[in-house]
């Protein structure tokens, strides 16, 4: 994936999911023109326990976000 397109996708993800803002994704190629970006971060629950956030983003080679899913 081109660096400029990756940056564009990351900026869109940061706007929609501020919990992963500033995190760099792990990028892997899926199909012909699709890439999987995995963002991870950690936060605190109201009772003080640590929570690991995983955000998976499937993006096209041209920068369109096709699918997102988040687990906590």
pLDDT, tens digit, 9 for 90 and up, residues 21-71: 999 999 999 988 999 999 999 888 888 899 898 999 999 999 999 999 998
Grouping H, G, I as helix, E, B as strand and the rest as coil, residue 37 is strand
CB 41 within 8 A of CB 53: yes
Q: Which residue has the tokens 């900026």?
A: 11
Domain ranges of the chain: 3-71
d(CA 66, CA 52): 23
Helix, strand, coil percentages, rounded to 5, for the chain? 25, 45, 30
pTM attached to this predicted model: 0.86
């Amino acid at each position: 994936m081109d660096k400029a397109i990756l940056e564009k996708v990351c900026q869109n993800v940061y706007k929609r999911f501020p919990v992963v803002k500033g995190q760099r994704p792990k990028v892997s190629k899926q199909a012909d023109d699709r890439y999987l970006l995995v963002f991870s971060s950690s936060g605190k629950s109201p009772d003080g326990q640590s929570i690991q956030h995983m955000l998976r983003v499937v993006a096209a080679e041209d920068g369109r976000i096709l699918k997102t899913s988040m687990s906590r």
